[in-house]
C-alpha cells in the first residue's frame, strides 16, 4: 500500500514527531509500502530524504496568520499534484499547524481514506499540556473558556479556535481513525468527540548494542538519580527537587543529574540553592547520540515526576530497555509503561513526599529495583519496539482499506 503523509510543524530542529514519521516511513518503505511525506515547516529540511517533499512557510506573524487563515500560496496545488503523481491508498495526517487552511481544503476534497496521529494533545488543548495553572488536569476541548482559565494561550486563542473549528467542520468528518500513543490521550479524544480513537503505543529508539544485550547490572559507586526532558513546570521538576532534598536524609550520598533545557531552568536552579542541594545537583543540558548513551550509563535510577498529564514518556522506555529502574508519577500515559510492583514505581503526581519515599525505596533495595528493571526491559523488547509498532499500524491500514471499521481499543 502507498501512504501519503502530511506533516506540518514549526521550528528549525526535528523533534520526536519528526523522528517518528521518518522511522515509520523508512520501515514501511523497506517492507514494500511506498511512502511520500509533504513536510510543511518554517525552514528547509532534508530529514525525510528522498521520501520528503519540503514546503517552507513564513515564521509565525501577521503574514503567516493571513496565509494560514485564507490560503498558503502554492501549498494546495502542491498537495493536489503530489497526490495525483503518487496515487496514495491512504492519506495520513501528522500535526496540523502551518498552512492548515490549504491542508484542510485538500483533505476535504480528497477521495482517499484519511487517518490522523495525535503525537500530542494539541487536538484537545491549545497549549497541548492539559494542565490548568493550579496544577490540576483539564477536561480538554478547545473553547472560548480556554481564555479564562489562566492558561498561557494568550492572543493565540482566536487562531486556535479558528483552526479547531476548521478541523472539526472540514477534516474530522473524513477521518476514519485517530491514533494515540497512550490510553490517556485516547480517552481524551474520545470524550471530546474524536472517534474512533485508537490506542497505538509508540516505541523506543533502541541502539543495536542495547537491544542485543545482555545489560550488566548498574554497579555505580555513587547512586545517581537521573531526569531527562524539558525543564518546565508541568514536568514536575519542583517536586523532584523537593523530593531529592528529602531523599538525602536517608541516602546522603545520592546525587541528582538533570538533563535537558527550558524556560524554567533559572528558577529551578535557584530552588536548588534555596533547598541547600546545589552542590548535589548537576544540570547537564541536552544530551544526544553517544553523549546520551554515556549519560544513561551513569544513572542508577530514572525519575519522571510529571504533573497531571504526560502523553507518553518515551524516555522511560529508553531507561527501562537499558535496565535502569524507573520511578514515575501516575500522569497520563505513564501507567502504560511503569506498572507498579512489576516494572517500576508509580506514585501520585504533585506529591513530593510520595516521590521521595519511592526513590528512597528503589535506592535502598537495589535487588528489587534491578528485578523490576529487568522485567521492564523484557516488556519494552516485546511490546514497544519499532517492529511491533509497524505491525500494528499495518493492521490498521489494512482494516481501513478493506472497509472494516476501527473500534476504539
In this predicted model, what pLDDT tens digit does every residue of 118-127 receive, in sequence order?
Answer: 998 999 999 8
Predicted local confidence at residue 96, as pLDDT: 78
b/e string for 22-42 if b means 16 or more Cβ within 10 A?
bebbebbbeeebbbbbbbbbb
Q: Which pLDDT band holds residue 238 (cuts at 50, 70, 90)?
A: very high
Q: Sign of the C-alpha dihedral, residues 209, 210, 214, 219? A: positive
Residues 63-72, mean pLDDT to the nearest whole number:
85
Residues 244-267, mean pLDDT to the nearest whole number:
96
- Residues 128-176 pLDDT 10s: 888 888 878 899 999 898 988 888 887 688 888 998 999 999 999 999 9
Domain 3-203+386-401 matching CATH 3.40.1080.20: the answer reads no
- Is the whole model's pTM more than 0.75, yes or no? yes
CA angle 98, 101, 106 (to 5 degrees): 105
Q: Which pLDDT band holds residue 248 (cuts at 50, 70, 90)?
A: very high
* Per-position DSSP letters for 185-222, written without gaps between them: HHHHHHHTT--SEEE--------HHHHH-PPPP---SS
Superfamily the domain 208-383 falls into: Glycogen Phosphorylase B; (3.40.50.2000)
Please list the residue range(s) of the chain that carry CATH number 3.40.50.2000: 3-203+386-401, 208-383
User: For residues 285 and 262, what is the distance between their CA atoms, to the nearest angstrom?
Assistant: 9
Candidate from 266-270, 358-362, 366-370 with smallest mean pLDDT: 366-370
- What are the distances in angstroms from CA 6 to CA 11, 54, 248? 16, 10, 49
Predicted local confidence at residue 219, as pLDDT: 61
Backbone dihedral angles phi then psi of residue 382, each to the nearest 5 degrees? -100, -25
| C-alpha 21 chain-centroid distance | 12
Amino acid at each position: 500500500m502507498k501512504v501519503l503523509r502530511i506533516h506540518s510543524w514549526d521550528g528549525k530542529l526535528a523533534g520526536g514527531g519528526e523522528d517518528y514519521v521518518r522511522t515509520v516511513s523508512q520501515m514501511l518503505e523497506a517492507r514494500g509500502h511506498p511512502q511520500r511525506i509533504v513536510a510543511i515547516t518554517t525552514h528547509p529540511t532534508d530529514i525525510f530524504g528522498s521520501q520528503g517533499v519540503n514546503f517552507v512557510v513564513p515564521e509565525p506573524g501577521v503574514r503567516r496568520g493571513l496565509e494560514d487563515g485564507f490560503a498558503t500560496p502554492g501549498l494546495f496545488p502542491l498537495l493536489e499534484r503530489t497526490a495525483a503523481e503518487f496515487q496514495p491508498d491512504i492519506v495520513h495526517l501528522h500535526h496540523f499547524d502551518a498552512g492548515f487552511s490549504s491542508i484542510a481544503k485538500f483533505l476535504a476534497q480528497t477521495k482517499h481514506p484519511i487517518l490522523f496521529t495525535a503525537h500530542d494533545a494539541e487536538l484537545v488543548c491549545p497549549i497541548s499540556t492539559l494542565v490548568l495553572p493550579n496544577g490540576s488536569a483539564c477536561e480538554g476541548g478547545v473553547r472560548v473558556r480556554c481564555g479564562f482559565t489562566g492558561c498561557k494561550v494568550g492572543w493565540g486563542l482566536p487562531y486556535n479556535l479558528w483552526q479547531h473549528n476548521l478541523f472539526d467542520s472540514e477534516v474530522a468528518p473524513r477521518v476514519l481513525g485517530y491514533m494515540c500513543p497512550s490510553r490517556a490521550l485516547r480517552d481524551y479524544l474520545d470524550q471530546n468527540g474524536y472517534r474512533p480513537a485508537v490506542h497505538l503505543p509508540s516505541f523506543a529508539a533502541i541502539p543495536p548494542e542495547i537491544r542485543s544485550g545482555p545489560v550488566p547490572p548498574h554497579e555505580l559507586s555513587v547512586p545517581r538519580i537521573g531526569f531527562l526532558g524539558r525543564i518546565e513546570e508541568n514536568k514536575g521538576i519542583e517536586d523532584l527537587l523537593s523530593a531529592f532534598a528529602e531523599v538525602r536524609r536517608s541516602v546522603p550520598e545520592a546525587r541528582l543529574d538533570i538533563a535537558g533545557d527550558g524556560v524554567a531552568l533559572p528558577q529551578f536552579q535557584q530552588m536548588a540553592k534555596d533547598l541547600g542541594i546545589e552542590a548535589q545537583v548537576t544540570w547537564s543540558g541536552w544530551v544526544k547520540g553517544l553523549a546520551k548513551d554515556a549519560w544513561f550509563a551513569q544513572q542508577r535510577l530514572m525519575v519522571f515526576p510529571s504533573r497531571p498529564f504526560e502523553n507518553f514518556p518515551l524516555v522511560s522506555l529508553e531507561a527501562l530497555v537499558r535496565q535502569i529502574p524507573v520511578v514515575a508519577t501516575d500522569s497520563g500515559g505513564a501507567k502504560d509503561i511503569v506498572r507498579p510492583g512489576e516494572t517500576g514505581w508509580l506514585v501520585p503526581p504533585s506529591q513530593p513526599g510520595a516521590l521521595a519515599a519511592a526513590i528512597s525505596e528503589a535506592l535502598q533495595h537495589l535487588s528489587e529495583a534491578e528485578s523490576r528493571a529487568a522485567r521492564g526491559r523484557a516488556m519494552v523488547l516485546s511490546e514497544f519496539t519499532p517492529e511491533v509498532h509497524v505491525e500494528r499500524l499495518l493492521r490498521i491500514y489494512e482494516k481501513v482499506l478493506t472497509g472494516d471499521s476501527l473500534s476504539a481499543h
